[in-house]
Structure formats: C-alpha cells, structure tokens
C-alpha cells in the first residue's frame, strides 16, 4: 500500500472496494503531518471518536457518510488483516501514522486505524 507523497491528499487502497461499495473494507490512507511539521489530511483523525461521522467525497459520485465505531493504535508492521477484507459488511477503514515518532528509526512507529460503518439514511 502506497501512501500519497502529498500530505494534503488521502489515498485509496485500489485492490479493495471503493468507498460506498456494498461489501468489504474500503481503505483510505493519509499522512498525519509532513516533514516540515504542516498538518496532513488525516491529522483530524487524532480527535475522532466512536459515534463521530466521516464524509467521503467521491469524484463523479455523491458523498458517502460513515459513523466511527472503533479506533485502535497498532505497530506499523501489525495492521489488522480485517482492514483489507473484500467481503462481508461494508466499512470504511482510515489509516494514518501514530506516535511514537522516532526519526532515527524512520519516523512514526505506529498506525492509527479508524473503522466506520455506513450511515443509512
């Protein structure tokens, strides 16, 4: 999975379902911040809690709204396989970096994984 180089841009894991799909985990990834200290597109995830809503805007289609159901911090090399599932109920999985930040080891050592379910209107 490649994270976009521009901290102001979120990326979609193209081997899984797209946001708004009827099944599986749509995965979006983005930066917490940049090398210069500017906040990234996913910096707001630090404050997201279960019950909050997230809106995904899609090119060529209407937005999709999700409600956050969980957030967990995991080591970088231990992303949960369920985050990348192609079947089952639809969810949105948002992934960004999380402290600790260790520049001598290449940066952030953990990931914040936020899971949200579609809001049915």
The pLDDT value recorded for residue 59 is 85
Domain 11-118 adopts which CATH fold?
A: Sortase; Chain: A; (2.40.260)
DSSP 71-92: EEEEEGGG--GGGG-SSSS-EE
Element (H, E) at 69: strand 61-75
Q: Please say whether the beta carbons of 65 and 118 come within 8 A.
A: yes
Measured in whole angstroms, the distance separating CA 70 from the mean position of its chain's CA atoms is 12
Domain boundaries, the chain: 11-118
User: What per-residue confidence (pLDDT) applies to 120?
Assistant: 85
Q: Which residues contact 9 (CB under 8 A, 6 or more apart)?
A: 30, 41
Cβ neighbors of 105 (< 8 A, separation 6 or more) are none
pLDDT of residue 42: 94
Q: What is the pLDDT of residue 54?
A: 96
pLDDT number for residue 23? 97
Query: Digits of tens for pLDDT over the chain (121 positions)?
Result: 788 889 999 999 999 999 999 999 999 999 999 888 889 999 999 999 999 999 999 888 999 999 999 999 999 989 999 999 999 999 999 999 998 888 888 888 999 999 999 998 6
What pairs with residue 81 in β-bridges?
Answer: none
């Amino acid at each position: 999975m490649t994270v976009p180089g521009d901290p102001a841009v979120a990326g979609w894991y193209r081997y899984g379902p797209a946001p708004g799909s009827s099944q599986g985990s749509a995965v979006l990834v983005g930066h917490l911040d940049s090398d210069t200290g500017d906040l990234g597109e996913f910096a707001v995830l630090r404050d997201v809690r279960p019950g909050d809503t997230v809106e995904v805007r899609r090119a060529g289609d209407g937005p999709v709204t999700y409600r956050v159901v969980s957030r967990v911090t995991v080591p970088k090399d231990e992303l949960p396989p369920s985050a990348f599932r192609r079947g089952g109920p639809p969810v949105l999985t948002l992934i960004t970096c999380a402290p600790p930040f260790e520049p001598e080891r290449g940066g952030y050592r953990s990931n914040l994984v936020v899971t949200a379910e579609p809001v049915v209107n």
